[in-house]
Amino acid sequence: MDSETFDLLRNTVRRFVEERLIPAEDQVEQDDAVPEAIVSEMREMGLFGLSVPEEYGGLGLSMAEEAGIIREITRASVSFRSVIGTTVGIGSQGIVIDGTEAQKREWLPRLAAGEVIASFALTEPEAGSDAGSLRTTAVLEGDRYRINGTKRYITNAPRATMFTLMARTDQGVKGSGGISAFIVPADTPGISLGAPDRKMGQRGAKTCDVIFDDVMIPAENIIGGTPGLGFKTAMKVLDRGRIHIAAVSLGMCDRLIEMSLRYAMERRQFGSPIADFQLVQGMLADCKVDQLTTEALMNATAARFDAGEKVSLDCSALKYYASEAVGRIADRAVQIHGGAGYMAEYKVERFYRDVRLLRIYEGTSQIQQTIIAKAMLRAAASA
């Protein structure tokens, strides 16, 4: 996208955040739901198609451009981002990267338009960070697969019209090698949903169990048409997803710093604004350093991703640093607000709860540390 067009898009999103999303945050928190009117506006703006190529009806943004838009959106409650997140990410990108041409033509235009909302069904009661141990099975019977299993903590499941499902198609292959990725319409007989999860934060972002009980789908619904490549597809999407989560973190950093600065300049103690006190200034300065470091690392990593370089280590380092950094900033924001920071009225306690999840999904901080260290050890051994 040329810079003028992208700036127009970003400014439009920025106004949408200021005029529609931020004023609706309290309603989302109270109702535990994003208003349908706002979801419709997000469709009209093309936000479901950020990462879908233009030839299939999307905006076709680069990774750097997508990160810039997500940063703007997540200045508001992160629950708004969750409405489009699973569609922009694995829901569309697995098909973009590894789907057959027929799958791309059938699904990508509908995903980009927000007509179809995707949900990524990988995690299970006994499979999270160890995704290779998943137990959901897909058994070939003629030209169809019979799917059985339970998925847990599935974001957007209550809203989804399509699942990107990871299931084991080869019982004789242990680990990730026997896993395939399927496109499964949510109205397929045999699919049922558990009760919505009660979560620590991110109210309005719905998650629940998804149960597959003798669900029959055509064999042609395997992404790419070849069994056993599902885990590889998921890993290909993860680099982009980790940059995306860094952008989420950065948008929340921006908002937390804005709120902290405003409060520090307005709140008076001992006859002066607390912003005059050096220990408060120290916390503000540390927040800025974390923000700038995240921004620089994200911009560099996104640029290298767009250039086609191998950036898996960089993406893990970025996601690890960004999600930990926003956690530190949220903690400082509560501290700067003092007693007010513990009260719902000032919203920082809400952001404090919301950001905690960022260190868990798209690979926990500990998984990122493991990836980084193993890559370092491989490089050292081959030097």
Domain boundaries along the sequence of the chain: 3-112, 118-226, 232-382
DSSP class per residue in 69-102:
HHHHHTTS-HHHHHHHHHIIIIIHHHHHHH--HH
Which of 1.20.140.10, 1.10.600.10, 3.10.270.10, 1.20.1050.10 is the CATH number of 232-382? 1.20.140.10
* pLDDT at position 51: 94
Q: What homologous superfamily is domain 118-226 in, according to CATH?
A: Butyryl-CoA Dehydrogenase, subunit A, domain 2 (2.40.110.10)
**Greatest mean pLDDT among 83-97, 112-126, 133-147, 248-262:** 248-262
pLDDT grade, residue 277 (50/70/90)?
very high
Quick: pLDDT tens for 37-57. Answer: 999 999 999 999 999 999 999
* pLDDT at position 235: 83
* pLDDT at position 164: 93
Q: Which residues fall within 8 angstroms of residue 364, CB to CB, at 6 or more apart? A: 129
pLDDT > 80? residue 132: no
Amino acid at 367: I
Q: Which residue did the predictor score with more confidence, 91 or 253?
A: 253
* pLDDT at position 89: 87
pLDDT grade, residue 383 (50/70/90)?
confident
pLDDT grade, residue 234 (50/70/90)?
confident
Beta carbons of 89 and 122 less than 8 angstroms apart: no
Average pLDDT over residues 238-266: 96
pLDDT > 80? residue 128: no
* pLDDT at position 259: 97
Alpha-carbon gap, residue 361 to 341, rounded angstroms: 26
Amino acid at 307: A
Alpha-carbon gap, residue 149 to 260, rounded angstroms: 46
pLDDT grade, residue 325 (50/70/90)?
very high
pLDDT grade, residue 126 (50/70/90)?
confident
Tally of CB atoms within 10 A around 106: 14
Told to judge if 362 belongs to the known catalytic residues of this protein, a careful annotator would answer yes
Catalytic entry in 65, 72, 324, 362? 362
Question: Cβ-count burial of 328 within 10 angstroms (0-12 exposed, 13-18 middle, 19+ buried)?
Answer: middle
Angle at 169 between CA 166 and CA 170, to 5 degrees: 130
Three-state DSSP class for 52? coil
CA distances 167 to 38, 127, 367, Å, are: 34, 12, 22
Using the Cα atoms of residue 352, residue 155, residue 128 and residue 234 in order, give the sign of their dihedral: negative
pLDDT > 90? residue 238: no
Residue 128: phi and psi, rounded to 5, are -130, -95
pLDDT > 80? residue 109: yes
Nearest of 103, 116, 79 to residue 252 by alpha carbon: 79
* pLDDT at position 318: 98
The two three-digit tokens of residue 274, written as one number? 């607390």
The Cα diameter of the chain in Å comes to: 80
Alpha-carbon gap, residue 154 to 141, rounded angstroms: 27
The share of the chain scoring above pLDDT 90, in percent, equals 86
pLDDT > 90? residue 134: no
* pLDDT at position 361: 86
The helix or strand, by DSSP H or E, that contains position 216, with its residue range, turns out to be strand 207-218
Alpha-carbon gap, residue 361 to 201, rounded angstroms: 14
Beta carbons of 131 and 237 less than 8 angstroms apart: no
pLDDT grade, residue 231 (50/70/90)?
confident
pLDDT grade, residue 310 (50/70/90)?
very high
Helices (H), 138-272: 230-266
- The least confident of 206-210, 317-321, 365-369, 379-383 is 379-383
Alpha-carbon gap, residue 68 to 243, rounded angstroms: 11
Question: Cβ-count burial of 15 within 10 angstroms (0-12 exposed, 13-18 middle, 19+ buried)?
Answer: exposed
Question: Cβ-count burial of 164 within 10 angstroms (0-12 exposed, 13-18 middle, 19+ buried)?
Answer: buried
* pLDDT at position 244: 95
pTM for the complete prediction? 0.93
Q: What homologous superfamily is domain 3-112 in, according to CATH?
A: Acyl-CoA dehydrogenase/oxidase, N-terminal domain (1.10.540.10)
